[in-house]
Structure 1
Amino acid sequence: MNYFSQYWDENRDDEYADWGFSTWYFETNKADEVLKQITVYKNGKVTKYDENNQEDEFGGLCEGTLTIDDCDGDVISKEDFYKIW
């Protein structure tokens, strides 16, 4: 498994724009498929997606593949990911 984060310095482009900037956290498998995804917004709102909760009214699990290079992210540990999860 791979674990990485990405800081997003733009607001959402919807009615939740006032949530502020966000940090995204990803768990991907060897095929670079996103298995779990967490988004932590500046206002404290947190969204989480995985195979059991693929989407809700706020967003959804990233489709397709994603690598740390695709999002210019930072490697994090499995332990750090699951502290947030």
Structure 2
Amino acid sequence: MNYFTQVWDENRDDEYADWGTSVWYFETNDADEVLKQITVYKNGKTVKYSLDNLEDEFGGLCEGALTIDDCDGDVISKEDFYKIW
């Protein structure tokens, strides 16, 4: 498994724009498929998606392959990912 982040320095473009900027956390497999995803917004709101919870009214699990190079993020440990999860 791979674990990494992406900082999103823009607000959402919807009715939740006041949540602020966000940090995204990803767990991907060796085929670069996103298995779990967490988004933590500046206001503290957190949304989580996985194969068991693909989407809700706030968003959904990233589709397709994704690597740290696509995100220009930071590698994190499995332990750090699951502290947030």
| Fold-level similarity (TM above 0.5) | yes
Q: Distance in 2 between matches of 1:38 and 1:11?
A: 16
| 2:10 corresponds to | 10
Q: Distance in 2 between matches of 1:68 and 1:52?
A: 23
Tell me the TM-score normalized by structure 2: 0.99
Query: What does residue range 4-83 of structure 1 map to in structure 2 within 5 Å?
Result: 4-83=4-83
Q: Distance in 2 between matches of 1:81 and 1:71?
A: 16
Question: Unaligned stretches of 5+ in structure 2?
Answer: none
Deviations 1:18-72 (A, max 9, x none): 0000000000000000000000000000000001100000000000000000010
AA matched with 2:49: Y
Tell me the TM-score normalized by structure 1: 0.99
AA matched with 1:57: E
Deviation of 1:13 after TM superposition, in Å, equals 0.3
- Over the aligned positions, Cα root-mean-square deviation in angstroms equals 0.3
Partner-residue secondary structure (3-state), 1:6: strand
Question: Unaligned stretches of 5+ in structure 1?
Answer: none
Q: Percent identity?
A: 86
